[in-house]
Amino acid sequence: AKQAGRSELRCFSQEAGAGTAGPSARELRLRGALERGDLTLRYQPQFEVRGGRIMAAEALLRWTDAELGAVPPDQFIPLAEDSGLIVPIGAWVLEEACRQLARWRAQGWAGRMAVNVSPVQLAQPDLVEQVLGTLARCGLRGEDLELEITERAVLQDAQRASGGLARLRAAGVRIAVDDFGMGHAALLYLLAFPVDVLKIDRRFVQGALDRDHERQVVQALVAFARALNLDMVAEGVETEAQRALMEELGVGLVQGYLLGRPVPAQRLGELLASAQSS
């Protein structure tokens, strides 16, 4: 299969011509994915660690191509970033997720929508207008939306990014730092960064039960978040023991396969409806 993939690549780059390495087969497919309707969103609930109410949903992108099949986000997101396709794709994700939240709002759910934002999107000068425009079109307030930015992006672009994020935050939009804990040096940068939420990387959440180091990192992050008055989400919670430990350590929200996998909008809508009536 590897061999076939390579000759396919060569074939495409010959078409692109003139000695330049053309876009990969995957990139060519990804270019048409939005128009073909091959991109969809799944929604994963975030629960109160105590009480179990669903407080937010994270929109997670899926790509299913007729020829390539389902390509995992960890593979196509980097491709979309390198090619710039993440800009139109990210705009679509934001619009789609906000439209969905507006529907759930109309059904009486008061939760937030969390949307992942790539560093490439952060560097776009019109991101702020785009986000505010989407919120307005969907009849939502800034407080209804949470943007998830990776810790890596915070470090890479603390200066430029924080200007736009500060404006969004002034409009009530919540800023979450995703995959938190992976780069410890980031703590200092965060002091100067407009942030509302820390999402602890699942490596620490899952390791905290068995290993002192991971537990101490989570403890330190909780203390740090308290001092800065930030909310915390533990991601990748797969077992009741992990959930209970997060509760004991003082983490407010949990997300993970134990309580809810990423599911199509209709399925999460059913969950939200049944949670309200119970």
Q: Among 54, 93, 138, 222, indicate the residue that binds ligand C2E (CB under 6 A).
A: 93
User: To the nearest whole angstrom, how small is the minimum distance from the Cβ of residue 69 to ligand C2E?
Assistant: 15
Cβ closer to Ca ion: 100 or 116?
A: 116
Task: State the nearest-atom distance from the C-beta of 182 to ligand C2E, in Å.
Answer: 11
Of the candidates 216, 41, 11, the one whose C-alpha atom is nearest the C-alpha of residue 116 is 41
Total count of residues recorded for the chain: 278
Q: Identify the residue among 13, 25, 73, 171 touching ligand C2E (CB under 6 A).
A: 73
Q: Does 74 bind ligand C2E (CB under 6 A)?
A: yes
Q: Where are the alpha helices (DSSP H) in the chain?
A: 2-16, 25-36, 73-83, 86-106, 119-122, 127-137, 151-156, 158-170, 186-191, 202-207, 212-227, 240-249, 265-277
User: Where does this chain touch ligand C2E (CB under 6 A) — which range of 161-169, 211-219, 224-232, 254-262?
Assistant: 254-262
CB of 105 to Ca ion, least distance (A): 21
User: Taking a C-beta distance cutoff of 8 angstroms, is the pair 197, 255 a contact?
Assistant: no
Residues paired with residue 176 on neighbouring β-strands, in sequence order: 148, 197
Residue 96 interacts with ligand C2E (CB under 6 A): yes or no: no
Torsion of CA 17, 18, 23, 28, to 10 degrees: -30
Range 98-117, binding ligand C2E (CB under 6 A):
116
236 binds ligand C2E (CB under 6 A): yes
CA-CA distance, 66 to 272, in Å (whole number)? Answer: 32
Q: Fill in the per-residue mask, 182 to 221: x = in contact with ligand C2E (CB under 6 A), - = not in contact.
A: --------------------x-------------------
Identify whether the C-beta of residue 101 lies closer than 8 Å to the C-beta of residue 141: no
Question: What is the nearest approach in angstroms of Ca ion to the Cβ of residue 128?
Answer: 20
